Structure 1
Amino acid sequence: MIHYHGIRSLLPVFIGIVLGFTLNVMVSPFLDETCDPSTIGQEQLVKLRETKSLYENEKTSESEKPTVKVKNYEIPQPLKIESNPNKKPVRPRFVATELGIREKLFVAVLTSQDTVNSFALAVNKTTAHYVTKQMYFSTSKSGNVPAGMPLVSFSDKNSKHLPLHVLKYISEHFSHTYDYYMFITDRTYIRAEKIIELVSHISISEDIHMGAVNIHAENNPDMCSLEGGVIISQSVLQKVLAGLDWCLTNSPEANPSKIFGQCLYHSTKLPCSKHGGDKEYRHYKVEDFDYDDDITTLREDGRFNSSFSVYPMPDDLSLFKVHRYFCQLELNLTRQEINKAKESIINLSYYTVDGIDSLSWPIGTPEATRPKKRFDVIRWNYFTESHVFFEDDFTNMSPLNGVDKQDVQEVLQTAFKRANRLYDNKFSKFQLINGYRRFEPSRGMEYQLDLKLREKDTNSDVLKRFHLLRPLNKPELVPMPYVTETSQVFLILPLFEKDVADGLHFLGEFQRNAIQIKDNSVLCLYLIYKKEKFSSDPFVNVKSTVASITSQPNSNNKIMMKSVEMNLSSIKEMEFYDVIVSDFSASTLVSMVTPGMELELDYINRIRMNTIAGVQIYFPISYWQYKPNLAYDQKPYPDMVELTQKYGHFEPLSFFHCSFYVSDFQKARRSLTANEVKHFSLIDMFLKYQKLHIFRAAEPALKNLWQNITCNDEANLQGEHCLERRNQNLATRAQLAKLLFEYNEEDEEVDDEDDDDEAEEANFDKPFMMNALHKG
């Protein structure tokens, strides 16, 4: 039986279906049935192309047909279209690959077994850090190849065919990867930064075949010398690769340079030229070269100073000496350019509104940031040669050590040398009276120094003030391997008996932020038992909660649990990590977490992006909540951690939160001695290993509830800064000062109302106030 209201509710659905069918029948005759080329035959496509019509049944009158004049036009072959509707398109991983963007320069160095550890090594040390990629090629294998030098050896022992084998290797591996390809021998010195500058200013649309033209070749004047360097473009390389078989079968010459030049000319019909576009390739050939004897004459030769390549080098030491000469030449030219730029800036400043007063110091560097409010003021830190004062909000004085001490010593020596240059070397020694420094984000580290200088002649002291700036260098992009946000992360949560309440809180966070949104992460609970018998299981609530969560849909294999019995009185931190890491394979990404932290998906994703196997490990700087009854004025206290300066702080001394691949841990662990295992922490181990980047950054998505840090625990994993963390974990200075003020007010009231004995008892309890704050 169907009610009237049910029929009425279904009426719009039936009307919509009927209208849809009607419109489909009416419109379908007018639709183009040949839009999908995969449904059209080849003959039909040719017919449609010849009639210039896309409609199969369209009839056009003779008067309406367009008149097309075709001159020397060849009709292309019919299209071969493969129809596979189930096949998904495969897109490249990077946008640059899809757009056809190539790297700039590939350098092929021809070497031999006898010179790979001398000449080739010298070429590698002077050019490899400039060019995009550099590889070495030889006709015989070398038993000991220097580190960082990719060497390719060919089975053909005939050295004259080596350039052709190099071309064949490039065609198989790098034929579409680079814009330009350069070929040199290991006896060639090239100024790699000049070569990069040269090819960067030539259009990639041109056919480039340039280098050191061999003017002494009588029969083949259009060939380049391999010793002087040959550069070809991507388009020329493709033509050469098409005729490479001819080059391999027609190489009567015994000179590899001539064989290479003949192959290039036969395939491209392009003679070697010293010009590419409007740029010129400059080279200099030396005869019986001796650096110590010839450099005096060569430094006055303009062709030598402007050359991009110098050849042939008699030995590897001469190659290093030539490189040092050109580095010094570039340094002098750079200083001249800087002085010209300074003069230009000074001259232009007269035409500005503020005139010469508009110049910042040093000239050309950004001026200091002007604070808009008092909170934007960057304070100066006072320092001596041994200590720095009020470095942050939590320390009054701390000793200078490490890189800070080296920095101060270098700055003092720089100021002293500058004073002697200004005053004709009249000072014998100095003494720091006052020192101030601050870090300016737009400029660098600034210093104000008051020095007492002792004069050599009069033995009297002079006070001078110096203003120094260590400017920020140009930022450098560090290449990193490709990573994705789909990696599986194993969150490691060790639970001690005292952490049960916070552990239950974390389980709720994991269920809400990982399981319910189906994140690819797994929680691994390690229940740490003491080596003694319990009357009852301290983790019974944790186990029941885990059983309740895992019984729900989509939560299978999302939580793993293991009980571990340890002697907590003698366990060391590295031994603790050894027990945990032993349960995972080498390719596993693990992240250490703490009970009581608020788990957010953003933090898990940043673990995936910032942890790279074999390259980088991640030590985030976590945010810790202050003690609620000290930070908040009144109850009720919020359940969530508030990310503000008043209610918490980022803790740079906490290193427990970290993420790494097990393979990286195992490699670093093998570098420790037995004594270091007893005393090292996890961060100490990775710092000693020195083969991985350690990435440290403030992580706003990693927030922790307040935790009572007990440094005399049986299992203390807080690190060597436990006491310092314990004192900073309470509240801000202003909040603690307010609490002390209120305590003193109450103490004065006790003194007024009670007798002397009671007052003495109250004063006796005063030193224990900080301990009472920790205990609540």
Structure 2
Amino acid sequence: MSGARTGLPLLGGLLLGVLINFLLFAPPDESTIACPAASIAEFVDSAEHWVVNQEKTPQSPPADAKQGPQVVRARFAATELGIRERILVLVWAETGRLAVALNGTLAKHVSRVVALADSARLDVETSLLPSLIPFKSNSLHAHTHILNAVFNYTLQENYDWFLIMKESTYINPFLLQEMINKMSWSEKVILGVPDSSNVGRCILEAGILLSNPTMQMLIQQRHVCNNMLAASDEQGMEMCIYAATNVSCRGEHQGQEYRYWHVSGTDAPHEELQRWAMESPSLNSSLSVGSILSTADSSALHDHFIRVEVDKVEAEISQLEEEIEGMGEDLPDGPSWPVGTKPYAHAPNRYQVPVWEYFTSTEIFKNEPNQNVRALEGSDKEDIDEIIEEARRRVEEEEGKRSLEFVRISGGYRQWDAARGMDYMVDLVYRDVDTEEILERRVHLARIIERTTLVNTVPYVKEDADLTIVVPIAEEVEVLPARRLLARQARLCTSPAEENRHTRVVVAVSSRVETKSVVFIQNDLEELKKRCKRSSLEASLLSVSSDTATSLHAAEALDEAIDHFGPQSMFLLLSPYADIQKELLDRARINTIKKFQVFLPIPFIEYHPTIAGMDLKDGEKPDDESTRQRALGTLKDPAPPQRTKGLMVQKEHGRFDPLDFSVVCIYGSDYMEVRPRLMRGKRVDVGSAFLNMPPGIHVLRAIEPALRLRYHRRECDPDLEEEDLLRCTQSRRENLAAKDQLARLVFNKE
């Protein structure tokens, strides 16, 4: 019963579906279907209604084909950006003499001056003008050739304003620049002096100023002027400008007036200029003056307008000073003194306090580590004396009603500020004659930096110049330091950095050096060449047979090196006691310029190793009695002192000596010019020949941390020149040790 209950609904649904399918989709009656006879297949041979669609196979572009549209770039960036010069002056030169004078006065103040002259009238002086365009008249008016020249040279495209004038007209360049800077060039305008007899035309004698759009139209329509009949070339130019542009002449535009001063034919401007300026002040505001007759008139007019411009600038400066003084009270720092200059430098922190030098009428206290006071002499004395006189004059002017008598200067201070100048404070003591009262007045003065000049073009210098290092050895005692220098050079050339520049090491040995030492030096040079093979370093030994002094041996060594390697090479004269870094060679190449500059670095001089404590062993102190006694003993011992510590640029180890000129870098040709100076007297070193050099050769001095000189006993020959002897004695005294080290040596601490 359970199976029947499940199967009956399934069977009923199946039968119902078959019945519905039979009723809806019954097969057609076979009796109504007619079967035709066997048919024959027909083929269509005509193709008149066929349409053929043939797709082209896409082809890949060639490999060298450029993608995208081609852009035609202008030759110059100014052309592409539409940048033009401000003004072009076209001068019609009839005789040529005045055109030369006009080029000298006007060309410095405008973008360009072009002179156009008939080739049949050219003289030698006119033909040398830098911007001359000659033409042949060919029975045509001059304006035709001028306009054709502007078109042929495409001058109409490169300037905002154009001034057409005769050579007999003077143009005030200062007023011309002021006028075109205040006007817009984009409008069609012609400025000048309108002709009263011909409406719309400008007088060429006064000059005609055209904007760029007007000049463009004039050049495009210049053919209108080809058959124009005029009584003169001057009239032809006036008529042509008006006919081709159809723009009337005007004397004022955008608030700027074109002023003209006419000179009658009987007057000479260079004689009547002063009278004209006094009787008619409008002359000073004139843009053009005509007609002038000579170059003297042109020069006189130019000088006059320069004075007018200077007076105008000074008046503006005075007005500006008054405005600054009026606003000074409202400024946070108060009014500046002098007016418009930077105030006194304020210390940014307690480590950068500005240093003032104290001075009296006889002495000055400078900021030097090894000298407290110096005598007031030389340029310092001239400076201080002038300041004292000016301070006294100021005080006596302010106290004019009182009878004061100057007593003395109690003291003063001065400070150098690179952005401001030299500032002074002077304390003066006066006595009142009537009351016998002593008065003190403090005066502030300043030498403001007001005239700055740019250095002339310096020759281009590269770091790859060939360098020859010359090491002179005059005595046997210098052999060991020189060998240490060669060892130092060997370590420099084997450093990881690549060295492609050519360097040559030359050791010049005197005849006083023993043969055994010469052999050692020769072996050191061979070893140096092997180690520096990668850097292409050359090393050679020169023998100098001389019995002269040690100081002159360096000059003879340099002479011998120049004879071997030529005067066009760069030579670096080193002391055998030198200890150098690689940076010294780079700076020597950069700072030495042929026929322009000599490099004399200021070396770091080592103190006496024993006194400076550079030979102390572990556990020893510089204050011990045994250390002190040993230091005193080494001062009497002629043997070179020993050291256990390396030389470092520190104030305990040495000092930079500005009196040392033993290291020089110079070109051989420049050295030969100053070589005779070394023969005039006994000199302490080669560098002394470069003191007080003649104009044209600069001497560059700067402290050089990469150049260190080991301590050695320095002898000062009494036969030296007085200046060199004083310098040698002072250098030897100050390079022994620092003051605290000498005090520790002399005074025994109990």
Which range, TM-score by smaller chain? 0.5 to 0.7
Deviation string, structure 1 residues 83-112 (Cα, Å, up to 9, x no partner): xxxxxxxx99xx999999999999999999
1:379 corresponding residue in structure 2: 355
CA distance in 2, matches of 1:181, 1:612: 45
2:620 aligned with 1:627, yes or no? no
Aligned to 1:62: none
CA distance in 2, matches of 1:170, 1:332: 41
- TM-score norm. by structure 1 comes to 0.61
- 1:452-491 matched pairs, under 5 angstroms: 464-473=441-450, 476-478=453-455, 480-481=457-458, 483=460, 485-491=462-468
Name the amino acid aligned to 1:712. C
Structure 1 residue 624, shift from structure 2 partner: 0.8
Q: Tell which structure's C-alpha radius of gyration is larger.
A: 2
AA at the equivalent of 1:370: H
Q: Is the 8 A contact 1:491 1:593 kept in 2?
A: no
Q: Distance in 2 between matches of 1:626 and 1:319?
A: 68
- For 2:387, the equivalent position in structure 1 comes to 411
Per-residue CA deviation, residues 386-432 of structure 1 (Å, 9 max, x unaligned), is: 65343633342134224x44434443454455456546699999786
Matching residue of 1:745: 748
Identity %: 20
Q: Which amino acid aligns with 1:295?
A: Q
Q: Any idea what SS the aligned residue of 2:748 has?
A: helix
Indicate conservation of the 8 Å contact 2:87/2:110, yes or no.
yes
Structure 2 counterparts to residues 16-415 of structure 1, below 5 A: 39-40=64-65, 119=101, 123=105, 139-141=122-124, 152=130, 213=192, 286-287=263-264, 288-290=267-269, 293-298=272-277, 303-307=282-286, 325-326=304-305, 328-351=307-330, 358-384=334-360, 387-390=363-366, 392-395=368-371, 396-402=373-379, 404-415=380-391
The alpha carbon displacement at 1:551 in A equals 2.6
| 2:420 aligned to which of 426, 443, 455 | 443
2:523 corresponding residue in structure 1: 544
User: In the superposition, relative to structure 1, how do residues 350 and 625 fare at CA in structure 2: closer, same or farther (>3 Å)?
Assistant: same
How many angstroms apart in 2 are the aligned matches of 1:604 and 1:528? 19
Q: Report Cα offsets for 1:483-514 as digits up to 9, x if no partner.
A: 35354131432321454444344445544555
1:558 corresponds to 2:537: yes
Q: Distance in 2 between matches of 1:704 and 1:104?
A: 58
2:732 to 712, 715, 726: 726
Q: Report if the CA contact (8 A) 2:205-2:290 is conserved.
A: no
Contact 1:572 1:678 in 2 (8 A): no
SS at match of 1:551: helix
Structure 2 residue identity aligned to 1:565: V
Whether the 8 Å CA contact 1:496–1:529 is kept in 2: the answer is yes
Counterpart Cα distance in 1 of 2:237 and 2:454: 37
- What are the equivalent positions in structure 2 for 1:565-714 lying under 5 Å apart? 565-567=544-546, 569=548, 571=552, 578-584=559-565, 588-597=569-578, 599-600=580-581, 602-614=583-595, 616-619=596-599, 621-627=601-607, 629=609, 630-631=611-612, 638-639=645-646, 641-642=648-649, 644-645=650-651, 647-662=653-668, 664=670, 668-669=673-674, 687-692=692-697, 694=698, 696=700, 698-700=702-704, 702-708=706-712, 710-712=714-716
Once residues 309 and 366 of structure 2 are traced to their aligned partners in structure 1, the CA distance between those partners, rounded to angstroms, is 43
| Distance of 2:682 and 2:240 partners within structure 1 | 66
The CA deviation at 1:704 is 1.5
Q: Match for 1:543: what amino acid? A: Q
2:746 maps to a residue whose letter is Y
Gap change, CA 1:695 and 1:225, over 3 Å in 2? farther
Residues 195, 153 of structure 1: CA spacing in aligned structure 2 closer, same or farther, 3 A cutoff?
A: closer
- Matches of 1:163 and 1:564 in 2, distance apart? 80
Distance of 1:576 and 1:663 partners within structure 2: 15
Q: Which of 474, 494, 505 lines up with 1:525 in the alignment?
A: 505
- Structure 1 pair 293/429, CA: closer, same or farther in 2 (3 Å)? farther
Q: Distance in 1 between matches of 2:228 and 2:682?
A: 67
CA–CA separation in structure 1 for the residues paired with 2:165 and 2:713: 64
CA separation of 1:547/1:681 partners in 2, compared to 1, >3 Å: closer, same or farther?
closer
Question: What is the Cα deviation at residue 469 of structure 1?
Answer: 0.7
Alignment check: 8 A CA contact 1:106 1:134 kept: yes
Gaps of 5+ in 1: 1-31, 50-77, 82-90, 750-776
Matches of 2:568 and 2:83, distance apart in 1: 33
- The answer as to whether partners of 2:96 and 2:123 remain within 8 angstroms in 1 is no
Q: Is the 8 A contact 1:212 1:274 kept in 2?
A: yes
Equivalent residue letter for 1:39: D
Distance 2:692 2:79 in 1: 37
Q: Which amino acid in structure 1 is aligned with residue 462 of structure 2? A: E
Q: Verify the 8 A CA contact 1:503 1:596 in the aligned structure 2.
A: yes
Q: Which amino acid aligns with 1:527?
A: V
**Structure 1's 622 and 415: CA in aligned 2 closer, same or farther, altered over 3 A?**
same
Which residue is 1:87 aligned to? none
1:108 touches 1:184 (CA, 8 Å); kept in 2? yes
TM alignment of 1:2-13, pairs within 5 A: none
Report the secondary structure of 1:704's partner residue: strand
Q: How much does 1:744 deviate?
A: 2.0
- Length-normalised TM-score, structure 2: 0.62
Paired residue secondary structure (1:369): coil
| SS, match of residue 689 in structure 1 | coil
- Going from structure 1 to structure 2, the CA distance change for 1:610 and 1:528 (only over 3 Å counts) comes to closer
Q: What count of residue pairs does the alignment treat as equivalent? A: 643
* CA distance in 2 between partners of 1:187 and 1:454 (Å): 68
Once the 2 structures are TM-superposed, how far is the Cα of residue 546 of structure 1 from its aligned partner? 2.5
The alpha carbon displacement at 1:445 in A equals 0.3
Pairwise CA RMSD: 6.4
Offset of 1:446 from its aligned partner? Answer: 0.9
- Unaligned runs of at least 5 residues, structure 2: 1-58, 618-642
CA distance in 2, matches of 1:260, 1:548: 85
- Say if 1:689 and 1:365 are closer, same or farther in 2 by CA, change over 3 A: same
Q: Tell me how far 1:652 sits from its aligned partner.
A: 3.4
